[in-house]
Amino acid sequence: MPFTVTMPKLSPTMQEGTITKWHKKVGDKVNAGDILVDIATDKATVEFNAIDDGFLRKILIQEGQSGIVNQPMGIFTELANDNIEGYQPEGTMPQVKEEKKPAATKEEAPKSNPTTTIPQAVFQPLPPLENYEFGFPTDEIPKRTPASPLAKKIAKEKGLDMTTVKGTGPGGRITSHDLNLAQPDLTVTFGRREKPTIVPGTFEEIPLSPMRKTISQRLQSAKNSIPHIYVHQEIDAEALFNAHEQLKNGNLKVSINDFIIRAVALALKEHPNCNSGFNAASQSLILFKTIDISVAVSVEGGLITPIIRHADYKNIGEISLEVKELAIRAKAGKLSPQEYQGGSFTISNMGMYGVSDFCAIINPPQAAILAVGAIEECPRVKNGQVIVGKKMHLVISADHRAIDGADAAKFLKTVQKYLENPALLLA
């Protein structure tokens, strides 16, 4: 008897998934609990186990292809020789949008082999590739001015570009005396480049992965619908840098970001109104009862935010170990949903890329996100003298529906207090 296995919903936000690998091939016996497929969701790549015993008879979504939730993935049978001819798979089939074609007029009869045309306003026809030299049409390259044989010889020996001077000889011919004002020939100095083989304007379109598609939809919605307010603060990072170096010299491997997570957790405890969110559907505030900090981690093809739960109850060492473990599992696509769903506040740190400062987009339904820049050297005045100091920029993006500018500023000043006095974070 045939039956259908459909695309499972592996996370609350999942709308479609991509099959990255089938662990069984057509004709194989499948036992309940066997790993059937690997599915790339909007958050991670997840192994999906078979629920029932059976034989895989037909694969409906091939490796590399995507399907919506509840779309048939494969046809199975209870027995190896069960007939599947005429069997209609169960589940939700994706809707194909049909483009409405305008009716043919008397002046324009329908063509037997229609071709796609590109509007002239978007793309203009390009000259043949052989008409290009160094990326520019050859008809736009100025013609070389005639020169005397001696001038040509001198220019070749000295590597001069004769097109950079005006000839004073008969008919505008360049003479040897004119070469005193000639500029060096760059094609001689740097070598002549080969002509490009790709026609200018060539491009390639790549479909979005489920993760990248979800990121684009969520961030566009957040930027369009959330009234962002940004508050900037420069931190004197000298003491923070020294504390980090002292721990490093003592073989205690913690990062600057671990200090920041600890400082943010303690600041949120003092300013609970910043540990909040906004429910757009019900137009109500969300007051989180626990401090759970989401940490933005860059992974292949996108971004994910594993969460440090009860961050205000953990010391820097505990935070450091947990962040390292979550980051490793995030990059491997092995996070479980409870490890990245939820969170009351997000930290996005680009300091490791040398970025001075940036403004991050809020991760709804949270009401705030903190963007962290790099520690940089800067001039400081100390005891009447200019010395080399260190600074770091923080920028908080807050949802103005839930957090006022004054509250965001007070929170940021508290974070500054902790980071400029890092001993408080070690207590």
- Confirm if 29 and 45 have CB atoms less than 8 A apart: no
Helix (H, G, I), strand (E, B), or coil: what is residue 327? Answer: helix
Evaluate whether 398 touches 406 at the Cβ level (below 8 Å): no
Burial 349-384 (b: 16+ CB within 10 A, else e): bbbeeeeebeebbbbbbbbbbbbbbbbeeeeeeeee
Q: C-alpha angle with apex 391: 390 to 397, nearest 5 degrees?
A: 165
The catalytic residue among 23, 310, 393, 400 is 400
Q: Which residues contact 269 (CB under 8 A, 6 or more apart)?
A: 291, 312
Question: Within a 13 Å sphere around the CA of 14, how many CA atoms are in the beta-carbon half?
Answer: 25
Q: Distance between CA 234 and CA 298 in Å, rounded?
A: 25
To the query of whether residue 393 is one of the catalytic residues in this protein, the response is no
Contact 373, 355 (CB under 8 A): yes
DSSP, res 353: G
Joined together, the tokens standing for residue 345 give 């506040």
Q: Where are the beta strands (DSSP E) in 41-169?
A: 45-49, 54-59, 66-68, 72-77, 132-133, 136-137, 160-161
Which residues are annotated as catalytic? Answer: 400
